[in-house]
Structure 1
């Protein structure tokens, strides 16, 4: 019984369709995020923003996104994931389109905050969908496949958005992604099944005081801190790398997008390899995966800062993202394998809450450091290295709760 999906009625074809629909939703979602990292360059020119204001604009999405993580996990655990997933995609697509209609710095802040509200439910809801659809032996691969779209979406977003911004303008880039997102929302409604039959059984077995149960688990809290540290690294990089390349290497906007595509495409493949390794050889070795990933992120990021070669920068950037993959895929596979069914959505929401708090800090802190040090990126990027080392230290102390390792 333990190895079955929560809703065992899914056939192989239905599981494939479900996974494909979620894959497209994740890809669109991350394209919607990365567009701002590239578009912030012409947006800053149009609205006369300094680095501090640009950092605040890059951060505000993560504030609302963080808060919604906890609510999204609870709603999905209680009512099933289908309605939550579809609502998320439709809502964030609406505010993606509205971003292209912004008329001031203040309006951009409000719209991007609401964009975070829409997207915030999605990650924990999709974890519940995976649990409703796939048996435990298949979940790490399914989840890794979905989260690998972070990098596919970023790759497509970096190149595609750069082209759209250069040839159509930054506003059109947001409008195109909005239409694509609404189409995916319709596809999800048709592809996903209502998980309420499975949810009734879960709710019957659900203990009271669920959040209290979750925060009393040292493994859950440490996973949250590990994800906090590594999220500072990743979100800081995707937020400021286009601007860094533009300033430090004098690359034009179109080639910034092309250079950014290479690390993300390789990282997309790497995440799926890590998911396969976790299912095949990762049982009981999750701690090693997280330690190696966090330490590797710190080392390659430090090397990236120190080089003056654009070729080596792309190589180190790629290796940093591959190291990040080991943390990313491992952290989000652990609740699917070790946590009781009624905590999966909430645990994912808690970890993402920590990650998005990091996201709300990283771009604005880096922007403030860039302003403080007169346009230099050295201290801002060193802040990311220290965050990766924090994640490594916490990973050393992590272990799964023995009585829940089945």
Structure 2
């Protein structure tokens, strides 16, 4: 993973290797959490639980995940993201495998909660690493590439889980997926450095692009590096970001968590067809995420105007999804909705990267993501409840998702773009 030039003049830089490893870590974080969406009908049958109780299993993960967003980010700011990421991946990988061994409902809830604790420590540390290794002009693109796992993860999880469950049962998929995460944790532990200047593969040319200081200077100067996390908590813009992400993730996690069940129970798809067609919206969403990151870096200072219309279009096609009679057209509309939903997501995280200074990126981005994971706790459970009281109909649950994403766009209208650009300017690693 050294830095070297190609014949065309393109130079592979250390930060690309760092991003690639982070991307793989995020991919397995989504695989490990999302296979349960495909396995859920079989877990429900095996444990003899209804839709509300199945929703509680999904929400148990988000309880642990949400609670440790801010502590995980603070740990990354204090002890460095390398240690936090490596230990977090190892932790959640162990509990991924343990999920496949559980035979009772209460222990399943507890295991998914503890699994969520491990995953909750990872996001803030990964975003801090991106903010440290990438110059400001590339951060939205880097974050969009990292965030492409938000779409690829569910897509791959749907295919992998359906194939393994059909062949070996739902327990095997969890046991098997725990193993790669331990290897990723080792790679991060031995390859990453918290300060780019300390990395043996960092060139002076790339270091100059980042404008970072040696570790010793960083240790002595961090106290004077700008606004503190405590001070930033008083900024209205932070809480606007939290609320936008909370509302947006009501839709995202409801969409992701219940899509396989919707296709099987309402549209009548088989397990294998659900695995294939359920992955299509997320592959399409990956294109939206990457396009959003690319475009977002070219409209810096106007990112909210990328977020708002795309969020509204995503909500419209969610409405079309559950009202169209044709099952195949429902998949088409889901895919269109996913494209615009994830394009909006890329614009949002570009805005976050503009807003938060790099030296408090771990704790502050963890705070923003906390809002999203509270939504992740609420949304699957609420949807399960709405499905139960609607006697198996998903219509009310879809209305719930549409209202949330429209509300996120409404809150984004209140963001003062010029103020954000000014506050995001001092993002020095």
What TM-score, normalized to structure 1?
Answer: 0.93
1:241 equivalenced with 2:259 (yes/no): yes
Superposed, 1:337-376 pairs within 5 Å as 337-376=354-393
Structure showing greater radius of gyration is 2
1:210–1:343 Cα contact (<8 Å) kept: yes
1:292–1:326 Cα contact (<8 Å) kept: no
1:172 equivalenced with 2:172 (yes/no): yes
Moved more, 265-274 or 357-366: 265-274
Superposed, 1:221-370 pairs within 5 Å as 221-279=239-297, 281-370=298-387
Match of residue 5 from structure 1: none
Match of residue 378 from structure 1: 395
Q: Report the Cα distance in structure 2 between the residues aligned to 1:54 and 1:248, rounded to whole angstroms.
A: 17
Shift of 1:405: 4.6
Q: Quick one: which of 223, 236, 241 aligns to 1:204? A: 223
After superposition, the Cα gap between the structure-2 partners of 1:202 and 1:314, relative to the gap in structure 1 and judged at 3 Å, is farther
SS in 1 for 2:68: helix
Match of residue 147 from structure 1: 147
Shift of 1:243: 0.8
Q: CA offsets, 1:24-67, max 9 Å, x none?
A: 10111101111010111110000111011001011111111111
Shift of 1:343: 2.5
Q: Report the Cα distance in structure 1 between the residues aligned to 2:158 and 2:422, rounded to whole angstroms.
A: 44
Q: Report the Cα distance in structure 1 between the residues aligned to 2:83 and 2:191, rounded to whole angstroms.
A: 12
Shift of 1:311: 2.0
Q: Report the Cα distance in structure 1 between the residues aligned to 2:137 and 2:157, rounded to whole angstroms.
A: 32
Q: CA offsets, 1:227-262, max 9 Å, x none?
A: 111101110011111111111111111111111111
Q: Report the Cα distance in structure 1 between the residues aligned to 2:340 and 2:291, rounded to whole angstroms.
A: 12
1:77–1:199 Cα contact (<8 Å) kept: no
Moved more, 325-334 or 222-231: 325-334
Q: Quick one: which of 384, 403, 413 aligns to 1:396? A: 413
Match of residue 6 from structure 1: none
Aligned-residue CA RMSD in angstroms?
1.7
Aligned length: 394
After superposition, the Cα gap between the structure-2 partners of 1:342 and 1:202, relative to the gap in structure 1 and judged at 3 Å, is farther
What TM-score, normalized to structure 2?
Answer: 0.88
Q: Report the Cα distance in structure 1 between the residues aligned to 2:236 and 2:343, rounded to whole angstroms.
A: 21
Q: CA offsets, 1:80-122, max 9 Å, x none?
A: 2110111111111010001011110111100000010000011
2:148–2:290 Cα contact (<8 Å) kept: yes
Q: Report the Cα distance in structure 2 between the residues aligned to 1:119 and 1:215, rounded to whole angstroms.
A: 23
2:284–2:336 Cα contact (<8 Å) kept: no
Structure 2 gaps, min length 5? 1-10, 199-214
Structure 1 gaps, min length 5? 1-10
1:338–1:404 Cα contact (<8 Å) kept: yes
After superposition, the Cα gap between the structure-2 partners of 1:78 and 1:314, relative to the gap in structure 1 and judged at 3 Å, is same
Greater than 6 Å deviation, 4+ residue runs: none
2:288–2:340 Cα contact (<8 Å) kept: no
Q: Report the Cα distance in structure 2 between the residues aligned to 1:380 and 1:54, rounded to whole angstroms.
A: 15
Shift of 1:206: 5.1
Match of residue 236 from structure 2: 218
Q: CA offsets, 1:358-390, max 9 Å, x none?
A: 000001111111111111111111111111111
Shift of 1:178: 0.3
